[in-house]
Amino acid sequence: MTRKILVLPGDGIGPEITAQASRVLAACQARGLDIQVEEAPVGGAAYDLEGSPLPESTLARARAADAVLLGAVGGPKWDKLEDISRRPEKGLLGLRKELGLFGNLRPALLYPQLAEASSLKPELVAGLDIMIVRELTGGIYFGQPRGIEERDGQRVGYNTYVYSEAEIERIGRVAFEMAQKRGKKLCSVDKANVLEVTMLWREVMERLSPEYPEVELSHMYVDNAAMQLVRAPKQFDVVVTGNMFGDILSDAAAMLTGSIGMLPSASLNASGQGMYEPCHGSAPDIAGQGVANPLATILSVAMMLRYSLGEGALAERIEAAVGQVLDDGLRTADIAAEGERTVSTAEMGDAVLAAL
Amino acid sequence: MTRKILVLPGDGIGPEITAQASRVLAACQARGLDIQVEEAPVGGAAYDLEGSPLPESTLARARAADAVLLGAVGGPKWDKLEDISRRPEKGLLGLRKELGLFGNLRPALLYPQLAEASSLKPELVAGLDIMIVRELTGGIYFGQPRGIEERDGQRVGYNTYVYSEAEIERIGRVAFEMAQKRGKKLCSVDKANVLEVTMLWREVMERLSPEYPEVELSHMYVDNAAMQLVRAPKQFDVVVTGNMFGDILSDAAAMLTGSIGMLPSASLNASGQGMYEPCHGSAPDIAGQGVANPLATILSVAMMLRYSLGEGALAERIEAAVGQVLDDGLRTADIAAEGERTVSTAEMGDAVLAAL
Ligand SMILES: CC(C)[C@H](C(=O)O)[C@@H](O)C(=O)O
Ligand SMILES: CC(C)[C@H](C(=O)O)[C@@H](O)C(=O)O
């Protein structure tokens, strides 16, 4: 059965990095992987073309796909758009919501070849390998009511942080299962000493815990988690948290590695359909120069093969190829040490293809 | 006119560290500072005594005081309290709310004598001096409605993240004024690409900006701010943000220094009345052993002298005394390098008094 993959290049460096990832997909195809790859616009690019960051046709094709590969969205060009609902970010949030991609996996993995790049002392991050499991379709990102309105003669802005037991349970299960496959330690992050919604979060995590007897569950307040990530990040294996805290902590964790240009992510729904994207953003400042690092996007293809296409062996080959090019000393500007020779986006793509 | 100071030792190491700070207050008194110092229970200690983490008499005395010095609240003993409204944290939150202490100042300052303690590479944190201005009586901490209730056969938890223009404006002014006195750079942290409440936040900060022409205002999304704190913290001078983001970012920033046992904080209301407390918590694991670091609490006394009592010169003398004891090599366990000789809480207090 031919599997459908939809590539959404998006904005900024998105087109450049997805171009290299598409070459990797083509190479897999050439080796017998039965896929069909299409492209569609999203984000600011889609707004410019069709007046919407998530055109109906893009959404329909995403729904029909087995997996989506996204570059990145957003840029200063669209930051001043008066109509918030047409901003590039809304394309991304719309895809997550419409496809039901509640399970966001964000690994923070330190490549030994790039250990120098971390801003932390080497001994604190050597071997770092954290998996952040972030709830992605609920919480304060989507909670109702929300808005800005006039009350007693002045404007008031408000959003609602809300989770149901069912929403907490399903992300909890993703996290417990992930922990079971990894180091068997799960840290649930909340602010249960202040927020009722996270008291319920903690309670549901506790309730699930006996079903995963091998996994050691702990709880941490979000302020402490932010500290512990800086102080001693290797204490973490799998971290599970809501949409907003996950946004903050996964970026902090990614930055601990010093090479956010290396980190992929997966967003999964209940039927294994997924959207895959680099952790980094659209980097408008370097867009179009051919210097962006395509490795996070290429590694997102590996995650796609593993989680949505059931091709774990092929995923490992791609990951090994990336390891190989790092061993060979290839560096795009973002991961180069001072004075080191750098390669272009396309040269990095060439090297990965050669190593495959 | 005699100024009234209320000391609230609280829980865990609170009594030990406030005891040393009280000695410093007494020394100021002996040198002619016209103050009257009282003590009252708060937090778990107050709950144990009177069944409430913020007894009426404590609150009344806090209202009557010119300034409050708080140790710390909370501990495992009270974590299982069914009635959330009686948890130690509620004593702290109640004081903030009842006294209207909306302006929370949290410096993240690296003491050159302790540069080694940071988990970041020395060149990234040398000279670090950030002031985080956190809104403390609004936002999601206090927003209504809130709770856990049954909807469609399952429980749902919810909280409300809400700010009015007036609330944003008054914390904005505190931050702009702080920036004006410091490096003239203010970074406002929000999530204006997702949350309406923070779109209003950004708009109000923009509106205030022309009134402070010397201050350069920038905006940053909270996820990026968490990354930038790890990547290049010295880019920040003053940071202003809401209650929840401020909780997370101020702890991360404090941890960058590696010596959270050194960091004081101030929480001010519109009339200059303030509550002063160390950034660190009640550390129940080391409570009662006489090994806690009293310096953050002693430095909180300095902040109190500066912000609530108009005694800036005296504040500087205390800060200089703390610098002196660090120069002299005195270290409590939390700030000692491996193998370094450590002193007790009381010995550290002795040394500061001697240096005064
Ligand atoms: C672009 C933005 C809406 C998004 C988010 O906040 O989720 C991004 O920061 C991310 O983490 O994928
Ligand atoms: C104890 C807790 C309620 C408090 C907060 O979240 O504000 C603490 O973390 C702090 O930052 O002072």
Find residue A37's DSSP bridge partners: A5
Which of A333-342, B63-72, B169-178 has the least mean pLDDT? A333-342
Q: Was A21 annotated as part of a binding site? A: no
Q: Residues B279-291: pLDDT tens digits?
A: 999 999 999 999 9
Of the candidates A285, A283, A311, A313, the residue with the CA atom closest to the CA atom of residue A297: A283
- Chain B, residues 189-228, CB within 8 A of chain A, namely 191, 193-201, 222-224, 226-227
B309 lines ligand 2 (CB under 6 A): no
Find residue A120's DSSP bridge partners: B120
Q: How far is CA A269 from the centre of its chain?
A: 14
- Cβ A184 vs Cβ A217: under 8 Å: no
* Token representation of residue A39: 């492209």
Q: Was B287 annotated as part of a binding site? A: yes
A92 lines ligand 1 (CB under 6 A): yes
Helical (H) or strand (E) element with B215: none
**Residue B152: pLDDT over 90:** yes
Q: Residues A28-54: pLDDT tens digits?
A: 999 999 999 999 999 999 999 999 999
Residue B23 to chain A, least CA–CA distance (Å): 30
Res. B246 pLDDT band, cuts 50 70 90: very high
Number of helical (H) and strand (E) elements in chain A, helices listed first = 13, 12
**Residue A81: pLDDT over 90:** no
Tell which one of B92, B104, B134 to mutate to probe ligand 2, the residue whose CB is within 8 A of the most ligand atoms: B92
Res. A10 pLDDT band, cuts 50 70 90: very high
Of the candidates A244, A125, A231, A128, the residue with the CA atom closest to the CA atom of residue B253: A231
* Topology classification of domain A107-266: Isopropylmalate Dehydrogenase (3.40.718)
Cα-Cα-Cα-Cα torsion B89, B95, B96, B98, nearest 10 degrees, comes to: 130
Nearest CA in chain B to A88: B193
B289 lines ligand 1 (CB under 6 A): no
Domains A1-102+269-356 and A107-266 share a fold: yes
CA distance linking residue A349 with residue B32, whole number of Å: 73
- Determine which residue's CA is closest to atom 6 belonging to ligand 2: B247
Q: What is the arithmetic mean of pLDDT over A13-18? A: 98
Q: Residues B57-115: pLDDT tens digits?
A: 999 999 999 999 999 999 999 988 888 889 999 999 999 999 999 999 999 999 999 99
| pLDDT computed for residue A153 by the predictor | 94
Residue B199 to chain A, least CA–CA distance (Å): 8
> Would the CA dihedral through A313, A318, A322, A325 be positive or negative?
positive
| pLDDT computed for residue B249 by the predictor | 98
Domain B1-102+269-356 class?
A: alpha beta
Task: With both helix axes pointing from N to C terminus, report the angle between B56-64 and B88-98 in degrees, rounded to the nearest 10.
Answer: 40
**Residue B343: pLDDT over 90:** yes
Tell me, yes or no, if A247 is annotated catalytic. yes
Q: What is the arithmetic mean of pLDDT over B175-197? A: 97
Which of A120-124, B76-80, B167-171, B272-276 has the least mean pLDDT? B76-80
A223 lines ligand 2 (CB under 6 A): yes
Of the candidates A142, A165, A166, A138, the residue with the CA atom closest to the CA atom of residue A242: A138
Question: At A86, is the secondary structure helix, strand, or coil?
Answer: helix
Number of neighbours of residue A97 by Cβ within 10 angstroms: 17
Res. A84 pLDDT band, cuts 50 70 90: confident
- Chain A, residues 222-241, CB within 8 A of chain B, namely 222-224, 226-227, 229-232
Query: Which are the contacts of A80, defined by CB distance < 8 A and separation ≥ 6?
Result: none
- Cβ B279 vs Cβ B303: under 8 Å: no
**Cα–Cα distance list, B344 to A84, A308, A309, B288 (Å):** 57, 57, 60, 11
CA distance linking residue A20 with residue A17, whole number of Å: 5
Residue B248 CA to ligand 2 center (angstroms) comes to: 9
Residue B245 to chain A, least CA–CA distance (Å): 9
B211 lines ligand 1 (CB under 6 A): no
Question: At A37, is the secondary structure helix, strand, or coil?
Answer: strand
Average pLDDT, chain B: 96
CA distance linking residue B78 with residue A221, whole number of Å: 16
Which burial class, exposed, middle or buried, applies to A92 when counting CB atoms under 10 A from its CB (0-12, 13-18, 19+)? buried
Largest CA-CA distance found in chain A, in angstroms, rounded: 67
Q: How far is CA A348 from the centre of its chain?
A: 21
- Beta-carbon separation of A157 and B196 below 8 A: yes
Q: What is the arithmetic mean of pLDDT over B228-254? A: 97
CA distance linking residue A262 with residue A106, whole number of Å: 12
Res. B356 pLDDT band, cuts 50 70 90: very high
| pLDDT computed for residue A1 by the predictor | 86
- Cβ A114 vs Cβ A335: under 8 Å: yes
Domain ranges of chain A: 1-102+269-356, 107-266
Q: Residues B159-169: pLDDT tens digits?
A: 999 999 999 99
pTM score > 0.75 for this model? yes
Cα end-to-end span (Å), chain B: 24
| pLDDT computed for residue A242 by the predictor | 98
CA distance linking residue A43 with residue A52, whole number of Å: 8
- Determine which residue's CA is closest to atom 3 belonging to ligand 1: A89
- Cβ B10 vs Cβ B45: under 8 Å: yes
Q: Which of B230, B248, B250 sits opposite A119 (nearest CB)?
A: B230
- Determine which residue's CA is closest to atom 2 belonging to ligand 2: B89
Task: With both helix axes pointing from N to C terminus, report the angle between A243-256 and B222-231 in degrees, rounded to the nearest 10.
Answer: 20
- The CATH superfamily label for domain B107-268 reads Isopropylmalate Dehydrogenase (3.40.718.10)
Pick A253 or B80 by higher pLDDT: A253
Selecting among A11, A66, A111, A141, the annotated active-site residue is A141
- Chain A, residues 34-93, CB within 8 A of chain B, namely 74, 84, 87, 89, 93
Q: Which of A157, A165, A229 sits opposite B200 (nearest CB)?
A: A157
Give the ligand whose atoms come closest to the C-alpha of residue A251.
Answer: 1
Give the ligand whose atoms come closest to the C-alpha of residue A263.
Answer: 1
- In chain B, % of residues over pLDDT 90: 95
Find the angle CA(B325)-CA(B239)-CA(B183) to the nearest 5 degrees.
70
- Beta-carbon separation of A227 and B251 below 8 A: yes
If you ran DSSP here, which 8-state letter would residue B229 be given?
A: H
- Buried b vs exposed e over B151-186: b needs ≥16 C-beta within 10 Å? eeeebbbbbbbbbbbebbebbbebbbebbeeebeeb
* Token representation of residue B46: 């107050």
- Beta-carbon separation of A157 and B199 below 8 A: yes
Tell me, yes or no, if B350 is annotated catalytic. no
Res. A249 pLDDT band, cuts 50 70 90: very high
- Cβ B257 vs Cβ B101: under 8 Å: no
| pLDDT computed for residue B81 by the predictor | 85
Q: What is the arithmetic mean of pLDDT over B180-203? A: 97
| pLDDT computed for residue B161 by the predictor | 98
Selecting among B34, B79, B223, B328, the annotated active-site residue is B223
| pLDDT computed for residue A11 by the predictor | 97
Res. B184 pLDDT band, cuts 50 70 90: very high
